[in-house]
Chains A and B, each alone.
Chain A
Amino acid sequence: MQRQLIAFQAVLFRNIIELKRYAFNTISMLVSLYAMFMILFFGLQRLGGVAIAAGDTLEGLLVGYLLWTMAIMAYSELSWDLNAQAQVGTLEQLYISPIGFGRLNAYSLLCNLVLQFGYAAVILAVLMVSTGKYLHVDLVSIVPLFIVTLMSAYGVGFAVGGLALIYKRIQAFFSIFQFVFLAFLTLPWAQFPWARFLPLSMGNALLREVMIHGRRIWELNPTHLMVLVGTGVFYLALGMMAFAWSERIARDKGLLGHY
């Protein structure tokens, strides 16, 4: 137990240092996310409120955008990080840790999840002030909803990360998922009833209810909540299985590690 704690502290230590060393990168990411949203927001205002993010309001756009950015961060955190570690040669060192690569990865994700909520809070606050559209920020309701919704994004991250172990240079493939996530968020349920089972989709709908209409988590439709949890667990498990499968292939082919 003590060794696990030491390992967790070490991962936290590394992540904080990297955050400090790459501060410019973090700030520019936040600025570009802000700028991108403002362009979307004013563009849509000009067009007279085109339906987006399965809703008709600009508040809906704000919720969808927030979820999308968090999903991208969650997904790229995993897949991109694996790729980067393989490139610099540190991946093998993580694999020869007696703590286990899976646990080290989980600790890293946990640290970064907290960080992501921090980024999201900053983005949300700035966007609300800039647009004059204020949402209900009920932490008790939105934090668990975000976590469960992001589980499916992590699942995709694991699957793509596994592919990165085998195929190494798949940056172009990484980028495609930004648009795939956008499709998950925007597919209308009325036309595509199965879309609610896609990653992020149900989470987006429930977060809109909480953040736009001010509902509490226990006031939400229990079936919808079950679908949210079910899809979250399903995609995460599927992603982890795909990762384990890829890991096995990489070990067999001697691909685990460097380029």
Chain B
Amino acid sequence: MLEVSHLSKVFVSGKNKVKAVDDVTFAVKRGEIVGLLGPNGAGKTTTIKSVLGITRPSAGSIKVGGFDPFAEPNNALSLVAAVLEGSRNIYWRMTTWENIVFFAGIHGVSHKIEKDYFDHLIETFKLVDKRSTEVRQLSQGMKQKVAICCALVKKTPLVFLDEPTVGLDIETSYELRGILKELAAAEARTMVVSSHDMAVIQDICQRVIIMSGGRVIADDKIDDLLAVFRSRNYKLAIGNVLDNEVVEGMRKKFTDVEVQNGERKTNITINLPSSGDLYALMDFLREHNIDIETINQQDPDLEKAFVALVRKERERCNGNS
């Protein structure tokens, strides 16, 4: 559905050159829901805008359904819809319905032919009551929903959602995530969701592409990515306070040990790269007559994985420079 190959974009301003996207390569298959994650300035939006033909790349190639968005824009763009800046993408002096009719129309989709589908989307997004309300009178969350509706009514096989939940309260964000998940499953569309909100990506997407400093630093299924982190961290609650000798011994034997001594209890966070290390830890604790109250494998979420990967990439870049 989408192939991005060795994409680079350098912005030149006078003598300054900023490499916003650096040799990015990825592909998205039909029906996949892919998350695009990255800190500010990671190159996510520039990548999306290049795919949409809004920003011309400095190097590399892009194929949307086999079409180059710069050489064959009409063919490529007929397959894509996007919400780029949330509620800023729609006309605030027009009503929900008017916006939907207009944006579908400029994609060649008639509201007369597709009226049932438009109504279905309005219902799904719970906008029935706001159908004839001017967008400027709607809440931020409602505006965002209208903007997403305007992208979906085009019935394109590929949809880009750039920060779909930005500026929304938790409840609305949660509701929107639910709707998107439902629609993605029901319509089998290909979606690329760019967001800072890890929960959104973890909730909606099957696969995540993590960008940092203009480069792709991870491209994997979310479950596989989390599995890498899941196998390492354990949290132990000990029923007594550990003396310094034991703590030092533990630190010598294992790497990455964090000990928090309380008044009566101790919490230990420890990194155990292999299953053998877990047995070694148990032996060590038994040797020192330490009672374990609880032991939990820490469940790393996408946020932790993301932070670890981005940090690692930054260290790598700093090391190179």
Q: Mark B residues whose CB is within 8 Å of A.
A: 9, 11-13, 20, 46, 49, 52-56, 73-78, 80-82, 84-85, 88-94, 98, 101-110, 134, 150
- A99 beta carbon closer than 8 Å to chain B: yes
Partner of A100, one of B9, B73, B84, B105: B73
Partner of A6, one of B49, B75, B93, B109: B109
Contact digits for A74-93, partner B, Cβ 8 Å, 1 yes 0 no: 00000000000000111011
For the complex, give the distance between the alpha carbons of A215 and B313 in Å. 77
Partner of B11, one of A22, A94, A253: A253
Main secondary structure of the interface of B (DSSP, over half): mixed
Contact digits for A1-39, partner B, Cβ 8 Å, 1 yes 0 no: 011101101110110011001100000000000000000
Q: Looking across the interface, which residue of chain B has its beta carbon closest to that of A249?
A: B56
Let me know if B84 and A92 touch, CB within 8 A.
Answer: yes
CB proximity of A29 to chain B, nearest CB, Å? 17
Q: Looking across the interface, which residue of chain A has its beta carbon closest to that of B9?
A: A254
- A104 beta carbon closer than 8 Å to chain B: yes
Let me know if B90 and A90 touch, CB within 8 A.
Answer: yes
For the complex with contacts A92-B54, A251-B54, A254-B20, 4 further pairs of A-B residues with Cβ separation under 8 Å are: A14-B91, A90-B89, A95-B53, A96-B81
- A256 beta carbon closer than 8 Å to chain B: yes
Let me know if B98 and A10 touch, CB within 8 A.
Answer: no
Let me know if B77 and A97 touch, CB within 8 A.
Answer: yes
- A162 beta carbon closer than 8 Å to chain B: no
Let me know if B77 and A98 touch, CB within 8 A.
Answer: yes
Let me know if B85 and A13 touch, CB within 8 A.
Answer: no
- A252 beta carbon closer than 8 Å to chain B: yes
- A258 beta carbon closer than 8 Å to chain B: yes
For the complex, give the distance between the alpha carbons of A100 and B52 in Å. 12
Let me know if A254 and B55 touch, CB within 8 A.
Answer: yes
- A232 beta carbon closer than 8 Å to chain B: no
For the complex, give the distance between the alpha carbons of A6 and B94 in Å. 19
Q: Looking across the interface, which residue of chain A has its beta carbon closest to that of B83?
A: A93
Instruction: Please judge, given known A-B contacts A9-B105, A10-B102, A253-B11, whether A93 and B89 are in contact too, CB under 8 Å.
Output: yes
Contact residues in A for B105 (Cβ distance below 8 Å): 6-7, 9-11, 13
- A199 beta carbon closer than 8 Å to chain B: no
Chain A, interface residues (CB within 8 Å), range:
35 or more
Instruction: Please judge, given known A-B contacts A92-B84, A95-B54, A253-B11, whether A7 and B108 are in contact too, CB under 8 Å.
Output: yes
- A257 beta carbon closer than 8 Å to chain B: yes
Let me know if A17 and B52 touch, CB within 8 A.
Answer: no
For the complex, give the distance between the alpha carbons of A6 and B103 in Å. 11
Instruction: Please judge, given known A-B contacts A6-B105, A96-B52, whether A258 and B110 are in contact too, CB under 8 Å.
Output: no
Let me know if A97 and B106 touch, CB within 8 A.
Answer: yes
Let me know if A252 and B56 touch, CB within 8 A.
Answer: yes
CB proximity of A159 to chain B, nearest CB, Å? 21
Instruction: Please judge, given known A-B contacts A13-B98, A99-B107, whether A88 and B53 are in contact too, CB under 8 Å.
Output: no
Partner of B107, one of A89, A98, A251, A254: A98
For the complex, give the distance between the alpha carbons of A169 and B110 in Å. 35
Instruction: Please judge, given known A-B contacts A7-B105, A99-B108, whether A257 and B54 are in contact too, CB under 8 Å.
Output: yes
Q: Looking across the interface, which residue of chain B has its beta carbon closest to that of A96?
A: B52
Q: Looking across the interface, which residue of chain A has its beta carbon closest to that of B50?
A: A254
Let me know if A251 and B108 touch, CB within 8 A.
Answer: no
Contact residues in A for B55 (Cβ distance below 8 Å): 251-252, 254, 256
For the complex, give the distance between the alpha carbons of A210 and B54 in Å. 46
Let me know if B98 and A96 touch, CB within 8 A.
Answer: no
Partner of A88, one of B52, B92, B98, B110: B92
Let me know if B46 and A254 touch, CB within 8 A.
Answer: yes
Can you name 21 A-B residue pairings with CB atoms under 8 Å?
A: A3-B108, A4-B108, A13-B102, A13-B105, A17-B98, A18-B91, A18-B94, A21-B94, A89-B85, A89-B89, A92-B54, A92-B85, A93-B82, A93-B89, A93-B150, A94-B106, A96-B82, A98-B78, A99-B74, A254-B20, A257-B84
Which of A10, A22, A95, A251 counts the most chain B CB atoms within 10 A? A10
Let me know if B106 and A17 touch, CB within 8 A.
Answer: no
Let me know if A92 and B89 touch, CB within 8 A.
Answer: yes
